[in-house]
Amino acid sequence: MTVIKNIAKDRVLQITVAIAVISLFFAKPRLADINFSTLWSIMAMMTIIQIFEYLHILDYFAYRLTSHAENTRELTWLFVALATVAGMFLTNDVTVITLVPLYLRVAKRYHLPEILPVTLIGMAANFGSAFTPFGNTHNIFLMNHYHINGARFFSWSIPLLVASVLLLVLFTLFVKKQPIPTVPVRDIRIQKRPTIITCIVALVIFAGVFDVLPSWVGAIAAMALAFAFSPKIMGKVDYAIVLTFAGFFVIVSVLQQIPWVVTLISGLMSTEHSVYLTSILSSQVISNVPSTVLIGKFTNLAAALFLGSNIGGLGTIIGSMNNLLVYKEYTNFGRHHSGKFFLGFFGLNLIGLLVLGVMGWLILDFVY
């Protein structure tokens, strides 16, 4: 019952279902438009993430690294670095849910700055997840939809990661060097054999994302492992995101059959730069995941869509689901009023969007 309640109260899923139901009055969705490979891959990733959570992998590294910080800037650097790497493998959502409360507990204890560091942790999680095909759900969709191989994907993501890291370094320079006491290390131990087995299953999932194996193989392997460790793990899997993606496919299938919608979107897909800008701007309004699914049905310019959808995660609080989670975690654990954090978070994200948006334009012109 808890699983059903969690699915039912997911606000994004509620909105998606409502729009999907309304769309059914305009046309009948086509089964061929639903990308089941993407759904299997997302299910697999959501399951393996919960297994890593169960094994406390991220908690272990978080407490080990933060114990070495001597001032606020070093602490921010460590959290940003960990968020970037964790986002690559554990997704931006899990990274934020774990690291933002951890940082805020340390910040509250020692009266450290909150708004800039927390914003940078959220940005770093976004940038890290953009680097790998399995770091976030819209990259999984792009891999399956365009049948992108690993070499091609990383030829896109490496320049973006370099530009993103430069932006993060620039922002961290504005964190004041305030001395802090040594952060105590909790006694968190990694279970070696379960961790190794989990990593092997993760490789099977990654093989599915890269089309080396059928994507359903990784999903079944992950679910079997979860049941083997503890059936309770499956109760914590984010099924709502899988259902939300299914809803996106239904909505997009209907939109593809409405002439004026096809004409409007097709008119914005003429060049790489128009796809890039459309992806960024639409992400600010409907979030980068549904934006990617929608635009992906109307263009073959995958590189521009990849770049725009990942940079479009910056900006407004709905630019990506990750941004909403950062805000939610701050309201739960932060010291300042949520309104003050919202203004600071939005302002920093907007600056980041403008700077990285220009860098992305240059990457599109001179690197891709």
Interatomic CA distance for residues 61 and 118, integer angstroms: 18
Q: How many residues does the chain have?
A: 368
User: How far are the Cα atoms of 280, 282, 318, 321 from residue 288, in angstroms, in the given order?
Assistant: 8, 7, 8, 8
Q: What is the pLDDT of residue 144?
A: 92
Q: What is the pLDDT of residue 360?
A: 96
Q: What is the pLDDT of residue 334?
A: 87
On whether the CB atoms of residues 178 and 112 are closer than 8 A, the answer is yes
Q: What is the pLDDT of residue 157?
A: 97
Interatomic CA distance for residues 70 and 178, integer angstroms: 9
Both tokens assigned to 161: 């990661």
Q: What is the pLDDT of residue 256?
A: 85
Nearest to 125 by CA among 326, 343, 277: 326
Going residue by residue through the chain (368 aa), what tens digit of pLDDT does each one get?
677 887 887 777 888 899 899 989 988 999 888 889 989 988 998 899 889 889 888 777 777 766 777 888 999 999 999 999 999 988 888 888 888 988 888 888 778 899 999 999 999 999 999 999 988 889 999 999 999 999 999 999 999 999 999 999 999 999 988 887 765 556 667 788 999 999 999 999 988 888 889 999 999 999 999 999 999 999 988 898 889 889 888 988 898 888 888 888 888 898 999 999 999 999 998 889 889 999 998 999 999 999 999 999 999 988 988 898 898 889 888 888 888 999 999 999 999 999 999 999 999 999 98
Q: What is the pLDDT of residue 185?
A: 57
Q: What is the pLDDT of residue 11?
A: 76
Helices (H) and strands (E) in the chain, counts: 18, 0
On whether the CB atoms of residues 161 and 127 are closer than 8 A, the answer is yes
